[in-house]
Each structure stands twice: as C-alpha cells, then as structure tokens.
C-alpha cells in the first residue's frame, strides 16, 4: 500500500507541470539583437520613442500635473484582440485541448481588463504611500467577434505546429507572424491587436513574452503585436496545469500590453545604472529611480543603489519583473502615457475606431448569462433588465450568416429549436453596446 501511495504521489507531482524560469521579457533581447544587425538601431528606436512622447503637449502637461490629474479620453477606448495559438500536439493536450485553451483565454481576458480598469482585487496591497499614484488606466480589450473577411469569429486561431517547434524572440518572434515561415499572418494591424501564443525562446531558454510596439523603427507593420509563451498566459485553476513557475495569474500579458502602449521597464533597461548617473529612466516621474529588474516576491520597502532610502523602489509595478502575485499597479503617469497612445495621434488610435469588431463580454458594466448551454432549443437570458434593457437578439451561424433576429424591449428568451445542431453565436444588443455569446445547440 505504501508503494502504491508513493507512486500516486510521484504521478501527481509529475502532473503538476511547472516550468522553472524567473520572469523575463524579450524586449532587451530584441533590442540588443537589432543593434547587432543595425549599428545605432537602439538610439534610433529611443529617438523615435522620444519623438512620440514629445509630440503632444497634453501628455507633457499631464505628466507634470499634480497627483490625481492625468490625461485620458472622455470615452473608454476599446481595442479588439485576436489570439493566434501555434502549439504542437503535445502542448495542445497539456493545455486541455480546445476547452482548456478557451478557459485560459477567458481568464486571461478578465485579468487584462481588471488590471487596466482598476478592478484587480490585489490593488489593496499597494503601499499606502503610493495609493494616490495607483491608476485606473481606463482602456478595455475585447476578443474579436468579426474576422477580416466579415465573418463571425471566436476570437482566436489555432495552428498545430511540428512537435518541439520553438520561436526565437531576438527578432520579435518574427517566424510566428508569417505563414511563409510556419506562423500565422497578422490580421489587419490597424484594426486588431494581434497576440501570438507559442513556445518562444532565446538560446534554448523560455521567454515569457516579447512585444513589437507600433511605429518601432526597422520593424514592419505585420510584425507589430505581442508574443506570449504558451505556459505564461491565463490563470491557474488547478494544481495540475502547466505554467511557468510563479507566472500563473495572467500578468505577463498585462506587462506586455504596457510595452505595446509604449511603456518601458521601470529600471530603464540600462544594465543597472541610475538615471542622472549615465543610466536611463522610464520617463515616468511618479515611478522611483530603479537600478535593475526586481525578481520574486519582495517585501515593502525594497531599496537599491538608485533609491537607497525613502519609500524604496516600486517593485509591484506591472512593468517590473516580480512574480505575478507581486505586481498589481500602473501609475498615473503610465496611464497618461498609454491613454495618449490610444488617443487621436497615438500609435494605437486606429484600433479604438473598430469597437464593433470586439466581443465586449468582458466589459464590467453589463453582465448577461445565457442558459442552458448547451441547449436543445430554448435559451434564457438573465440580466439586469431595469438598468440595461436588451433590445435586440441576433443568432448567427459559424459562417457569420444571420439566422434569427428578435427585436423587442427586455427580451428574456429565444427559440433555436428550428436550427440544426451545432455552434452558434448569439449577439445581444443593448442601448450602448453589443455582447456576443457562443451557444451550442444539441
């Protein structure tokens, strides 16, 4: 019996597939590689970033404004997002096949929206000395519900690649982004934010993510976007799920999204130097001077050679390198920077002009539940009919063809029994927004 118990324990330990690696991000690797190929490239990228930063007086005024006042657009910007999964057959099974991937994807989108909209529960851990700097960035993200051809989509593509395939981050994971090199071509980068997920590495070691922000010199438009490691996205819900060690709360995408919206690491990527002493700053006046990346789960206050006293460094900032459980804030200056990028004249402004492409099921103000799902015919709608009356329901098939339309006030159900068995999309239209839900008819 003891032998059997030990065997079961060993199997359980093996099934808990953590992948050892401390947090890393491919930005520095990518910048160093491009400098090797193109002398002066880093300075060119830095100059281009400075030009963007200085191109509008609003953000400059915002960053020098008293705490609590920062620039943001009047309406909450919403960015349509599409994920491209490039997984080998073994990883596909490890992630739990389609259902496992979709569960991680849904949890990831919720974390991303919570972190960017002041809804992350762990914000209570922000030290009191910095609570006034904590920012609700006010940018929302939605899975694409319409593809570039105008058809309905589930918000992701899935490509099974040869076993043990990997993608090098030194060139921004370029091979992932083109079908000609075994990847997936980007959807129109002026309308969709593309995120590729696969086995990204550098020198044989896992890398959590790498981002090519819009308008980055020496990179082409189809390369703009984010690449994530296949075991660094989503939120852990069971002991047996494979994740990079301590990277299991979805914060890698929050970090990389900061890069996409033109933020850099809090220590300035300068090899441990201090701003004012030959080092770089992150251009944010409300993040303390920091020497180098911070790892693990530090305790407050944490000091380094650049900030050896006072409140210490802001290791809990999303743009540092701590574990997922130890990062939980953007600052007001960072929020100003990112809102500038999604505003008129910003590098990501065009993405916000296509709200209709995104499924806003992750938007906090409106919640609706469709049940039973799967269904044999009748689908019930559960929502706040007083605050947000449901005005129209449209049922589409997987090809995006409209099959059923119902217009009324406070719609509470729809009959799909006349349709064939299969996957359908139910669009629920409220006064100011539209939500798309998947329904299986059986």
Residues forming the active site:
256
Q: Rounded to whole angstroms, how far apart are CA atoms 48 and 167?
A: 27
**Any long-range contacts for 237-241 (C-beta under 8 Å, 24+ apart)?**
237/103, 237/107, 239/12, 239/15, 239/16, 240/12, 240/15, 240/16, 240/17, 241/17, 241/96
Cis peptide preceding 221, ω within 30 of 0 = no
Q: Is the peptide bond before 438 cis (omega within 30 degrees of 0)?
A: no
How large is the C-alpha radius of gyration of the chain?
A: 23
φ/ψ of residue 122, rounded to 5: -80, 5
Burial of 349 (0-12, 13-18, 19+ CB in 10 A): middle
Q: Are 193 and 79 in contact (CB under 8 A)?
A: yes
Question: How would DSSP label each residue in 352-372?
Answer: GG-GGGEE-TT-TT--EEEES
Closest CA to 168 of 29, 45, 37, 42: 29
- Pull the structure tokens for residue 283: 């251009």
What are 161's two structure tokens? Answer: 């690649």
Residue 294 · residue 239 · CB < 8 Å:
no
Q: Which residues are 156's β-sheet partners?
A: 83
Q: In which element (H, E) is residue 229 found?
A: strand 225-229
Tokens 């000091």 correspond to what residue?
A: 303
**E strand residue ranges, 235-360:** 243-244, 358-359
Alpha-carbon distance values, 210 to 11, 102, 174 (Å): 34, 22, 10
Residue labelled with tokens 């940018």? 139
Pick left, alpha or beta for residue 373 (phi over 0 → left; psi -120 to 50 → alpha; otherwise beta): beta
């Amino acid at each position: 019996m003891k032998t059997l118990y030990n065997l079961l324990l060993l199997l359980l330990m093996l099934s808990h597939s953590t992948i050892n690696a401390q947090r890393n991000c491919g930005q520095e690797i990518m910048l160093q590689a491009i400098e090797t190929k193109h002398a002066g490239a880093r300075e060119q990228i830095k100059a281009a970033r400075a030009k963007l930063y200085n191109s509008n007086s609003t953000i400059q005024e915002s960053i020098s404004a008293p705490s609590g006042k920062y620039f943001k657009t009047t309406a909450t910007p919403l960015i349509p997002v599409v994920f491209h999964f490039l997984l080998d057959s073994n990883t596909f099974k490890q992630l739990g096949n389609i259902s496992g991937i979709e569960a991680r994807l849904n949890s990831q989108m919720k974390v991303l929206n919570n972190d960017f909209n002041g809804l992350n529960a762990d914000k209570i851990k922000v030290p009191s000395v910095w609570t006034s700097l904590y920012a609700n960035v006010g940018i929302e993200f939605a899975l694409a519900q319409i593809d570039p051809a105008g058809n309905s989509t589930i918000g992701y593509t899935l490509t099974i690649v040869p076993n043990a395939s990997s993608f090098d981050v030194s060139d921004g994971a370029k091979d992932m982004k083109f079908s000609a090199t075994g990847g997936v071509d980007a959807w129109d980068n002026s309308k969709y934010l593309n995120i590729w997920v696969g086995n990204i590495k550098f020198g044989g070691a896992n890398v959590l993510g790498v981002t090519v922000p819009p308008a980055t010199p020496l990179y082409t438009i189809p390369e703009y976007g984010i690449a994530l490691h296949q075991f660094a996205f989503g939120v852990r819900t069971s002991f047996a799920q494979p994740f990079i060690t301590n990277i299991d709360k979805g914060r890698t995408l929050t970090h990389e999204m900061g890069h996409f919206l033109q933020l850099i690491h809090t220590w300035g990527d300068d090899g441990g130097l201090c701003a004012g002493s030959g080092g770089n700053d992150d251009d944010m006046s409300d993040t303390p001077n920091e020497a180098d990346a911070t790892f693990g789960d530090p305790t407050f206050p944490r000091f380094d050679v650049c900030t050896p006293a006072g409140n210490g460094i802001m290791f809990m900032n999303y743009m540092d390198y701590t574990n997922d459980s130890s990062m939980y804030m953007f600052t007001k200056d960072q929020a100003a920077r990112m809102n500038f990028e999604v505003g008129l004249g910003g590098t990501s402004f065009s993405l916000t002009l296509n709200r209709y492409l995104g499924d806003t099921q992750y938007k906090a103000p409106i919640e609706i539940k469709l049940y039973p799902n799967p269904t044999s015919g009748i689908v019930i709608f559960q929502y706040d009919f007083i605050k947000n009356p449901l005005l129209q329901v449209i049922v589409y098939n997987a090809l995006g063809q409209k099959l059923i339309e119902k217009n009324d006030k406070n719609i509470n159900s729809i009959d799909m029994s006349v349709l064939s068995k299969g996957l359908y999309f139910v669009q629920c239209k409220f006064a100011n927004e539209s939500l798309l839900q998947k329904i299986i008819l059986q």
